Amino acid sequence: MPPSTTSLRIAIVGAGAIGTTVAVLLASAGHQVSVLARGETLLAMRRSGAQLIDQQGQHSAKVAVSDSPAELGEQDIVLLCTKSQAVSGLLPHLTPLFNAHTCLVPMVNGTPWWLFMGLPDTPSTPQHIEAVDPGGQLVNCVPAGSIIGCVVYISAQVTSPGQAYSTTPHRLILGEITPLTTERKRYVMALIEALDSVGISTRHTPHIRDAVWSKIAANLTSNPLSVITKTTLETLYGDPWLRNVVEQLFEEVRFTASACGSQLEMTLPELLEVGEGMKGVQTSMLQDYQQERELELGAIVGGVIELAKRQNIAVPTINTVFSLAHYLENAGYRESCKETL
């Protein structure tokens, strides 16, 4: 018998904006949610639970929270909601959360380390991508049959530890990266039902890599450019001067995706229309930049540059944006700005 949605044991690793949003919505609806957190977020969730304000209203939920995977114990679903650069240092330590049927759902921006896992290993589809998986550690950490690909369309921000805020609809796309066992497939379908029932519009796709490349196009045309220009999505996709840059970035991603065997699910006009409609929304990378946190440049930009190089595809605009964003992230630049104030 397939599991009921409320019987699923769901662990959320990382209580940033996305992790908090998903945790609150699932837990407030009665689902068995555990959160792996640390520092001030751990203390805040233990004291007051998790909080969310979104289009549906104000939500609050008590969750089981710990900084120890062993304390949380084995789970049916593990939602990995950390920044991409944190995955390699974290994933090997999550073993206590897994048993024979546990599904790992990486809800991570950019080029995923698992992109070519489960596919034939050829020069055009290498198993490991150095920019997001240095040394190939991650591809050997969790088997392809345990991983469920995920594309995240949730725009949210942390207002204080354990509290998130969002003004846009929540949407996810899930899909297996290699054929699943019958049991794992049941858990995935139960997860989709659970997410959909709490206001996170979730669909299953048999072509998860196409969906991933589409999100990569959205990320790469917005995130690093937002750091360079300090603007919202509405301006990035609506201003005619910035649109010229967005169009070049989009085409370079599209060519790279095609060379890697995938097709984008959206056209450029569709991307521009959706982006321009995100009024007042800042990218996660701009939020990180403003708070002087490390930027996800490796996953969102570096991975595409690496794959384009392997396919002998020129990506001059992506390279330029990559260099400019790295320059702005540099501590020396930040200090020079402070000195001029």
The label of the residue with tokens 């945790």 reads 23
Q: How far apart are CA 208 and CA 23, in angstroms?
A: 23
pTM: 0.92
pLDDT band at 123 (very low <50, low <70, confident <90, very high): low
Confidence of residue 119 (pLDDT cuts 50, 70, 90): confident
Terminal alpha carbon distance of the chain: 64
Is residue 97 over pLDDT 60?
yes
Percent of the chain, pLDDT > 90?
A: 86
Q: What gap in Å lies between CA 78 and CA 71, rounded to an integer?
A: 14
Mean pLDDT value across residues 309-336 = 87
Choice between 340 and 165, residue whose per-residue pLDDT is larger: 165
CB 260 within 8 A of CB 125: yes
Q: Which of 42-46, 134-138, 289-293 shows the highest mean pLDDT?
A: 42-46
Give me the pLDDT at residue 7, please: 83
- What average pLDDT does the chain have? 92
Q: Write down the pLDDT at residue 337.
A: 57
Q: What is the DSSP letter of 178?
A: S
What pLDDT, on a 0 to 100 scale, did the predictor assign at position 113?
Answer: 96
Find tokens 């390279």 and name the residue: 319
Return the pLDDT at 328: 93
**The pLDDT of residue 6:** 62
Q: Which of 1-5, 101-105, 171-175, 272-276 has the lowest mean pLDDT?
A: 1-5
Burial class (CB in 10 A: 0-12, 13-18, 19+), 182: exposed
Tell me the domain boundaries of the chain.
5-206, 212-340
- Please determine, for residue 132, whether its predicted confidence score (pLDDT) is greater than 70: yes
Report the pLDDT value the prediction gives residue 278, as an integer from 0 to 100: 86
Q: How confident is the model at residue 341 (pLDDT cuts 50, 70, 90)?
A: very low
**pLDDT band, very low/low/confident/very high, at 127 (cuts 50, 70, 90):** confident
Give the per-residue pLDDT at 189.
95
Compute the average pLDDT of residues 100-123. Answer: 90
SS (H, E, C) 47-62: HHCEEEEECCEEEEEC
pLDDT at residue number 311: 93
Instruction: Spell out the residues 6+ positions from residue 69 whose beta carbon is closer than 8 angstroms to its own.
Output: 36, 93, 94, 95, 96, 97
Inform me whether the pLDDT recorded for 332 exceeds 60. no
Q: Residue 124: is its pLDDT beyond 60? A: no
| pLDDT-above-70 percentage for the chain | 93
Number of residues in the chain: 341
Q: pLDDT tens, 246-290?
A: 999 999 999 999 999 999 999 999 999 999 988 888 999 999 999
CATH class, range 212-340: mainly alpha
Q: What is the pLDDT of residue 309?
A: 95
Both tokens assigned to 174: 């899930």
Q: What is the pLDDT of residue 330?
A: 84
What is the band of 1 on the pLDDT scale with cuts at 50, 70, 90? very low
Query: Is 80 exceeded by the pLDDT of residue 125?
Result: no
**Which CATH architecture describes the domain 5-206?**
3-Layer(aba) Sandwich (3.40)
Q: In sequence order, what are the residues at sequence separation of 6 or more whose Cβ sits closer than 8 angstroms to the Cβ of residue 339?
A: none
Confidence of residue 120 (pLDDT cuts 50, 70, 90): confident
Provide the pLDDT for residue 3: 64
| Mean pLDDT of the 191-213 span | 97
